[in-house]
Structure 1
């Protein structure tokens, strides 16, 4: 069964109704729903304003509802929340029922036909999808600013996009889920690149009755998330200087144990397909990012620090000591030699994951590892 059919049957059973009757009754109330991208209640609970912005103008440099793929919100009386809920139900193609209504898709028509809703009834429902007209006036309970226009001022209402705000929450939730799966050894995503956005602030609307604000708020209203908008806080730490070899002293296997374990599993896998090769590349590039970051910390130190370490290879001194900045562009041999250092160190570190391990990475793998760092160093020089 399809996602819509499963949902209808499940909801009808909860109400002790026949699925076709429940669905028809719910969709007959579509005209009680108002589409919106900006809901005044997010600013003030007594606001009556809702705006459905369908403009697709691109605001260069800014994220807005007009240039983002954000869900349409629905303002509806709590008594008709079931109607809003089914309109926001996601189907197999990743689009919600509302989007199919707006596009008059044959797919949705076929889904509804299974419950006895014919094309004429479907057409009526499409026509009942209504949107509020952009208001000419604002409300005194909402925040306003006087914006200068030529020799006068225009009153503007500060009204954030609820659709954009709630879609952001969904994206962050998906990121958290992906991050967790990529760290679970039993997950199919284990070892894949993952990302997290820290220091988020939670905010709720509607208290114990989020459905009184909007349909999206009712669905995702446990807590909205706000991104941090603060200057970065830099932690002060001692920079470890290499005496003989940057690789193994500043960057050690312990720093990247997780990545090395994943690389070992990929290099010893029975298959060698494109997916595995891409995973290896992504993990190596992640390690290279760490290498560049730690190297930049040393490069920012006072020139001449490497004079104290006679055993540090000349090519690594050129790379890490700013006193040799001009040499970097005169002779690129230092770059190739540094890449080979990285390749040999990485190959040895991967093979050392298992005790008494006899696996060896060949010249091809070592050259690949070296090339990933060389490629990044060349980008740094541009």
Structure 2
């Protein structure tokens, strides 16, 4: 592992050297005077010397004190907060709620001088899940030994790099949040809550993966094409975005810079409880008023579509789309009806339709359980053609919803809507009449 880590260190420094020297070479190509070219050539030699592994490590060890590893940087609270950062290592304790300590592998953030963030990149080099910072924290300098034979210099590197791993001075700041929390009648704790960059990073990675990963894109493509997939789509609803650092997110922390200053916020609003379901028994048109509210978007879009094709020729794709709108409305109707039918199983709503103002057909349709206690109702359910009456009511409702000065709904449309629903009601008669056939 050590040899491999040493190779990573060497490659990391070489990569930074290549980036810097490539920029100088491009600048040299733009210069015309011999003096300018000579100056850039000298500067290139000086820069190349700085990026010698031994020289760079010595400089990095000196600059390491300018940064700190953290899971809770103070600058998320206020960009000028000078308080201490807090680093929470992996916790083996079981927590009953979500917090930084519950993360199995919390991301480690880096705060301090943005010009020294390259040192953080070095310390976060990892092999097999073990970082260079982990090794140095255990006073293990074997990964650095290939770059010097001077034990004193090796000790200086260790001491310098370890300054990035420890809190220099534990203190809060006037711009940090502070809470006085009473613990007794005459004493209190002064608590300074800090933003968890580690938790924000974990949430950011999960949401970004659910939206933009190749797997997520492939699954959503199959969903749009209405094709089967063993994978599921994951969506995070009502997500807000808070930004930190303005145009310089790197001044807040390293992870914040990687997130471009963005942090996702999940909705913490309390749940909106559905009102207790009750049968539509208070008014004659109670069922259809509630159904109109539930399907207001579908009926509005359907009407807009019919108006848009009013002057166009009738084609199969247009007829199919019109039929799809009707199917959506009918599915919503049957779902709403099923919710009401289930209420009849509850003792408090037993035979609720007997006292309602609904038409006889609506009573037979929406309260099938009533037949278990009402023999006359059971006979009417079996004998009467209530499906056609319900279908006609639906057709009249739909014609009314679609009626417009430029869109006249006539008997032809009424017949189509009615026939479409009636066919489905007849096919579903056994399910809609649950309890009727079971009674001898």
| Stretches of structure 1 lacking an aligned partner (at least 5 in a row) | 240-253, 255-293, 328-382
Query: Which residue in the other structure is 2:249 paired with?
Result: 210
1:237 aligns with 2:294: yes
Task: Tell me the TM-score normalized by structure 2.
Answer: 0.47
Bigger-Rg structure (1/2)? 2
Within the candidate set 404, 410, 428, 1:312 is matched to: 428
Shift of residue 102 of structure 1?
Answer: 4.3
Once residues 182 and 104 of structure 1 are traced to their aligned partners in structure 2, the CA distance between those partners, rounded to angstroms, is: 47
Within the candidate set 263, 271, 287, 1:224 is matched to: 263
Query: Which residue in the other structure is 1:12 paired with?
Result: 17
Once residues 235 and 245 of structure 2 are traced to their aligned partners in structure 1, the CA distance between those partners, rounded to angstroms, is: 28
Shift of residue 234 of structure 1?
Answer: 8.7
Within the candidate set 176, 193, 200, 1:158 is matched to: 193
Using the TM superposition, name which of 59-68 and 304-313 deviates more: 304-313
Relative to its length, the structure with more helix (as a share) is 2
Once residues 203 and 192 of structure 2 are traced to their aligned partners in structure 1, the CA distance between those partners, rounded to angstroms, is: 22
3-state SS, counterpart of residue 38 of structure 1? coil
Conserved 8 A contact 2:66-2:164: no
Once residues 119 and 173 of structure 1 are traced to their aligned partners in structure 2, the CA distance between those partners, rounded to angstroms, is: 47
Shift of residue 169 of structure 1?
Answer: 1.7
Q: How many residues align?
A: 261
Conserved 8 A contact 2:133-2:165: no
| Stretches of structure 2 lacking an aligned partner (at least 5 in a row) | 22-47, 223-227, 275-292, 297-323, 325-332, 345-365, 369-386, 388-424
Within the candidate set 70, 76, 83, 1:42 is matched to: 76
Shift of residue 48 of structure 1?
Answer: 1.3
Where in structure 2 are the equivalents of 1:111-130 lying within 5 Å? Answer: 116=147, 121=154, 124=158, 127-130=162-165
CA change 1:101–1:196 in 2 (3 A) is farther
Query: Which residue in the other structure is 2:172 paired with?
Result: 138
Shift of residue 117 of structure 1?
Answer: 5.9
Task: Tell me the TM-score normalized by structure 1.
Answer: 0.54
**1:192-245 deviations in whole A, cap 9, x for unaligned?**
223121322222222122222222222223422111222456997359xxxxxx
RMSD (CA atoms) = 4.5
CA change 1:310–1:180 in 2 (3 A) is closer
Once residues 296 and 103 of structure 1 are traced to their aligned partners in structure 2, the CA distance between those partners, rounded to angstroms, is: 64
Query: Which residue in the other structure is 2:113 paired with?
Result: 77
Shift of residue 42 of structure 1?
Answer: 0.8
Query: Which residue in the other structure is 1:201 paired with?
Result: 240
Query: Which residue in the other structure is 1:346 paired with?
Result: none
